């Protein structure tokens, strides 16, 4: 964060200053008092389980310069009516003081975090880059990421999520993107939005915020995304596998680990890419990253080289680990929706050619009235894919087992269990050397513990 006197922070946030106006915040802005560093600003949020104001004294004792609070605390503070809104105003105010910085923002129903990580690794070669850890993509995580930027930052890569109409518009009001990327419009959160058209309406808010002279990067292979071209004042650059995309992939192949090789084709030239990421769906993410990097001024050769060297940067997203006994565990348990689950199953089938494949699947949350039908479709897909075993975890995913049972030709085995421990026990009885196991479910399912237990058990 750039150094700011408390008086300036109060002015930016519309808050009331309590303490010396010339005291300067030099460190990061944090919401966890345990993360305080000397000179930090501690934002005291009142949550369901804890009130940050109760930790203000500890934050100041640990070296925080001040507290951003909703009520006065003992020590230097700026008091605002709404800490979240004040945090957003502060982030916007800092960005206004960094005119040489390029903001690249990405959204989509699936692949946001992986694509954000790719973009950051690519444009990071052209200068200092700030990007969020994991999925800091909401009203709190995004401004915290913005506030990590300073005068030396050249690129700020942001992820923008939405739970409804207007959420992304709020985020772009904090950080207007010079480059706005839309990956896809799928079925994630369809229960909250009420349909894919509403999801498209919400996701398109990111390109509506792109100013003249900026760039809207759109997926040419997704009709709902391609149609967003009419909603932006910026230059439209498309990416995809089709011949009409501005940035596209040609000659795509997959190796035995499901890692893609292709030729990156752009108007400025072509270059070979060999991804270290698993799954053909990673190609679309890589193309989006390439288009964003192109908009930021990088040449095709540099982009292709960076994509080929990029590695997974966020946990539990297609993490592939081989146990000492030869069992391969694919941990894709960070989140799940029908589109991402189908993509992960495609990787599993490809990797398991000549080997047995097992899928451990949990609930796909926030599907609303479509939940039972969507879970059943996944179960049917598993059975039709020739996967040897399906372990369904949790009552909310039970329709997967029902769907698998509807495919009479399937010779595999389906086991339905209540929890993570039972899933690990079921797998331990069935796995043999060279088997491949995919673990995937929504965040609420906590299935990363299945993958971790499988790996830990084999290490003993």
Residue 458 above 60 pLDDT?
no
Distance CA(438)–CA(391), nearest Å, equals 10
108 marked among binding-site residues: yes
Q: 361 burial class (0-12, 13-18, 19+ CB within 10 angstroms)? A: buried
Residue 439 above 80 pLDDT?
yes
pLDDT tens digits, 36-77 = 999 999 999 998 889 999 999 999 999 999 999 999 999 999
Distance CA(283)–CA(21), nearest Å, equals 51
Residue 212 above 70 pLDDT?
yes
Q: Quote the mean pLDDT of the chain.
A: 95
pLDDT tens digits, 110-125 = 899 999 999 999 999 9
Fold type of domain 319-457: 3.90.190
- H or E, element range at 306: helix 300-309
Architecture of domain 4-82: 3-Layer(aba) Sandwich (3.40)
pLDDT tens digits, 385-415 = 999 999 999 999 999 999 999 999 999 999 9
Three-class SS state of 176: coil
Q: What is the pLDDT of residue 191?
A: 64
Distance CA(342)–CA(133), nearest Å, equals 26
457 marked among binding-site residues: no
Query: What's the mean pLDDT in 330-342?
Result: 93
111 marked among binding-site residues: yes
371 marked among binding-site residues: no
Whether 453 and 374 have beta carbons less than 8 Å apart is answered as no
The 413-417 sheet, strands edge to edge = 319-322, 328-331, 436-440, 357-361, 389-393, 413-417
Query: What's the mean pLDDT in 324-332?
Result: 95
Distance from chain centroid for Cα 143 = 16
Domain ranges of the chain: 4-82, 98-309, 319-457
Fold type of domain 98-309: 3.40.1190
Contacts of 3 (CB under 8 A, 6+ apart): 24, 25, 26
Q: What is the CA radius of gyration of the chain?
A: 23
Distance CA(217)–CA(235), nearest Å, equals 8
- H or E, element range at 300: helix 300-309
Q: How sure is the predictor about 460, in pLDDT bands with cuts at 50, 70 and 90?
A: very low
Q: What is the pLDDT of residue 459?
A: 41
270 marked among binding-site residues: no
Please provide the size of the chain in residues.
Answer: 460
């Amino acid at each position: 964060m750039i150094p700011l006197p408390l008086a300036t922070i109060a002015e930016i946030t519309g808050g009331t200053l309590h303490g010396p106006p010339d005291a300067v915040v030099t460190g990061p802005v944090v919401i966890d008092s345990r993360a305080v560093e000397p000179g930090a600003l501690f934002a005291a949020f009142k949550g369901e389980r804890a009130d940050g104001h109760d930790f203000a004294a500890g934050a100041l004792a640990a070296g925080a310069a001040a507290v951003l609070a909703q009520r006065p605390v003992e020590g230097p503070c700026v008091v605002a009516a709404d800490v979240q809104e004040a945090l957003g105003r502060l982030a916007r105010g800092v960005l206004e003081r960094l005119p040489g910085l390029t903001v690249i923002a990405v959204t989509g129903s699936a692949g946001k975090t992986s694509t954000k990580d790719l973009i950051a690794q690519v444009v990071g070669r052209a200068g200092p880059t700030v990007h969020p850890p994991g999925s800091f993509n909401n009203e709190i995580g995004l401004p915290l990421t913005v506030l990590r930027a300073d005068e030396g930052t050249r690129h700020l890569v942001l992820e923008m999520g939405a739970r409804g109409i207007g959420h992304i518009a709020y985020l772009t009001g904090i950080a207007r993107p010079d480059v706005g990327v839309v990956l896809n419009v799928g079925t994630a959160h369809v229960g909250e939005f009420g349909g894919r058209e509403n999801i498209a309406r919400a996701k398109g808010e990111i390109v509506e915020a792109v100013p003249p002279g900026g760039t809207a990067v759109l997926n040419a292979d997704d009709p709902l995304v391609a149609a967003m071209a009419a909603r932006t004042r910026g230059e439209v650059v498309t990416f995809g596998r089709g011949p009409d995309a501005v940035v596209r992939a040609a000659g795509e192949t997959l190796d035995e680990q499901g890692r893609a090789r292709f030729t990156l084709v752009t108007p400025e030239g072509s270059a070979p890419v060999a991804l270290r990421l698993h799954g053909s769906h990673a190609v679309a993410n890589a193309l989006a990253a390439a288009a964003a990097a192109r908009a930021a001024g990088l040449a095709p050769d540099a982009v292709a080289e960076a994509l080929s060297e990029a590695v997974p940067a966020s946990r539990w997203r297609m993490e592939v680990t081989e146990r000492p006994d030869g069992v391969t565990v694919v941990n894709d348990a960070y989140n799940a929706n029908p589109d991402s689950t189908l993509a992960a199953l495609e990787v599993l089938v490809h990797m398991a050619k000549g080997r047995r494949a097992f899928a451990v699947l949990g609930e796909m949350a926030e599907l609303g009235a479509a939940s039972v039908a969507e879970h059943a479709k996944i179960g049917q897909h598993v059975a039709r894919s020739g996967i040897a075993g399906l372990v369904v975890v949790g009552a909310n995913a039970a329709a997967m087992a029902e769907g698998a049972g509807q495919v009479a030709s399937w010779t595999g085995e389906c086991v339905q269990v209540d929890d993570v421990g039972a899933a690990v026990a079921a797998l331990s009885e069935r796995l043999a050397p060279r088997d491949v196991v995919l673990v995937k479910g929504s965040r609420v399912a906590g299935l990363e513990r299945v993958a971790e237990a499988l790996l830990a058990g084999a290490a003993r």
